[in-house]
Structures are given as structure tokens and as C-alpha cells.
Chains A and B, each alone.
Chain A
């Protein structure tokens, strides 16, 4: 199942399939297509959305998180 990163539930994880935001913006923080990530927190309204990638936390705005498509891991 695919979801926007902004829709991932707390502690849900998945693999990045597509990035429709500035790739540059996320790539240099370690979020890229095929990376595996886990949702840590998601604040409503404008964010931030914080995910864990390779043991690092990466924070981004809700708008950016909406542009990231994730294949959700099966529970």
C-alpha cells in the first residue's frame, strides 16, 4: 500500500518510492528514493513531520511530507 509520508501513522514505516518536492532539499538530508523510514512524530497544521532514516531524525514541513510517496511496510 502506498501513502503520502504526511499520512504515515506514528511508528509506521515504509520505503520511499517517489519524491515530488525538490529532491535536492530532502536528498541532502538523507531521504531518497528506496530509503527506509519510520514516522516519529507528525504535528498537525504545518508540521513538522519527523521521521527516522538510518538512525537519524529528519524533520520537514507538512507540505514537503505530502510530496513524498511511501510504500508502507506490512505489519
Chain B
């Protein structure tokens, strides 16, 4: 009998500099292997996390602003996502600039993998008095949203737990909820994230 009775593959995806590698290091510790993505000079790091007889292979995907790739790193991100249709995706957002990260997040959601969100840098958001309405964000996206701080080690167990609650996103439902079907306090726009008011996604 195998030592571990189930294995998950988790792709960590997000904009550059949102703390993917910092989270990855927290989750995998020393068990990581860096290699070039075949045919490129782009580094991809893989590691393992074992917990309660479950094994998680975690891939730290190169940062990307979009899946319409414009450089080698974005190209590799697209290829890794395309090559793992069964992987669970952890979309990493920077809590101090959530809106910017949602562009890539929605593109990734269109791929249909089960998905959840790590709302990283929550410590920096608190410090800068940026408040993120996690409950509403979670309700609109319909997937788990977990506040984390890779530097402080906050939210790591919640992240592992969220793997099991990851959902394939329903883009049509997200759109309907984003355009007003979500109940929110009177006078507030849906997705009211402090400091990012204004602007409508195309």
C-alpha cells in the first residue's frame, strides 16, 4: 500500500511580486526542486507538502499579468496551466492591490480548474489601512478566499484546508453577481475594496 493515499497537484498563479514564492517556501519548506521549464530559461520550482496521509505537489508558476503571454515567463505560465487540467489552482492576490490581480484571476478562472484564492500580504494591507471585504469577494467569486501573510506565516493551515473546498468557477454566475446580484450594505458598490473604486472591467 502506498504511504500516501491521495495526491493533489496545486498550481500557484498570480501577478509578479505578490508573494507566490514566499508562500511556496512556507508551504513546502526545504523540499523544493528548481528546474528550467523545457526549452526555456524560465525557472519553475516544485515542492511537496505532506499532511495527514495526503500529498500535495505544489508548483510555483512564474508570475504573469495575463494569459495572453507577452514574455517567456507568461508563456511558461500558460503552458503549465494548459498541461495540468486536473490541478487545483491557488490564485495569489496582493491584498493591497486586489483589483489589478483580478484580471489574471478571471482569465485563469476561465480555464475551469478547481480554484481558490490566497489573499496574500494581508499584513501590509492592514498596515496601510486597505480593507478588503473578504466575505463579499468570496461570495462574488464563489470560491474560497483565504487571507494570508507569507512573511508572518498567517493563514497557512487555512490554505491547505481550502484545497479541499476549491471550486471550478462559474464565470456567468460571477458576472451576474459582480453586476449587482450580490447583497451589500446600502450605498456600497459590490466588490467595495478600499482604494480601488472606479473603473469597470471590459
Contact = CB atoms under 8 A, between A and B. Distances in A.
Do A and B interact?
yes
Interface of A: 23-25, 27-30, 32-36, 54-56
B127 to A, nearest CB: 14
B30 interface: no
B195 interface: yes
Interface residues of B, number: 17
Interface string B24-64: 00000000000000000000000000000000000000000
Given A24-B66, A28-B65, A54-B195, A33 B202 contact: yes
Given A55-B97, A56-B97, A29 B65 contact: yes
A28 B202 contact: no
B202 A54 contact: no
B198 A34 contact: yes
A28 B99 contact: no
A23 B199 CA distance: 13
Contacts of A56: 97, 100
Contact of B202 (A29, A32, A36, A55): A32
